[in-house]
Amino acid sequence: MIVIEPPSTGDFPALNRTGLSRFLTRAQRAVQLQGEVTVLLADDARLKDLNRAFRRKNKPTDVLSFPAAENGEGVAGDLAISVETAARQATEHGHALDDELRILTLHGLLHLAGYDHEVDKGEMRALETELRAKLKLPIGLIERTQPARKVVAKKTAAKKAVKKTVAKKTVKKATTKKATK
């Protein structure tokens, strides 16, 4: 079920509740997540409140997942998505707001299914990539951060290589000087 909470200021762009509901059903099947999922579409202020209350992070975020208790009796859990953050991210990545809302929904569903990219060894990323292609979505949420990690890793590796080379030259100079004395 899709619940749209009016923003505290201004208006949201037009949202396709029917299309998002159909996507939620398709994505849930793809993730193999059984049980009811409620998706709250809200503003940054609401997501900031939820993020502060449940994760002790005093800032808005794009998507939060709230898995149901183990005896959820037909309920898989809830998602909360910031439409304002989704709109900014859609613009940054050059696709429609509806696409971004679908990307965030898929990401949240994977969390409800028990995946956690912050602690796993890439399983969630791999599955999100596979399902994103199957569901015909643009680049996934986890994939967006991967290029930044590669650049950092390359820079770190380059710095280590430079340090090794400098150390070898220093040792060679010291050895050469000793040998000539």
- Domain range summary for the chain, segments of one domain joined by +: 2-139, 143-181
Fold of 2-139: Collagenase (Catalytic Domain) (3.40.390)
Write down the pTM of the prediction.
Answer: 0.74
CA distance 167 to 161: 10
From first to last of its 181 residues, what are the pLDDT tens digits of the chain? 888 887 777 777 778 889 999 999 999 999 999 999 999 999 999 999 999 999 999 999 999 999 998 766 889 999 999 999 999 999 998 889 999 999 999 999 999 998 888 888 888 888 888 998 899 887 755 566 554 344 344 444 444 444 444 444 444 433 333 332 2
CA distance 86 to 98: 9
Give the amino acid at 45. Answer: A
Alpha helices in 94-140 (DSSP H): 97-112, 123-134
Four-residue CA torsion sign, 33, 143, 15, 84: positive
Please give the C-alpha separations between residue 154 and each of 134, 148, 168, in angstroms, as whole numbers. 31, 10, 21
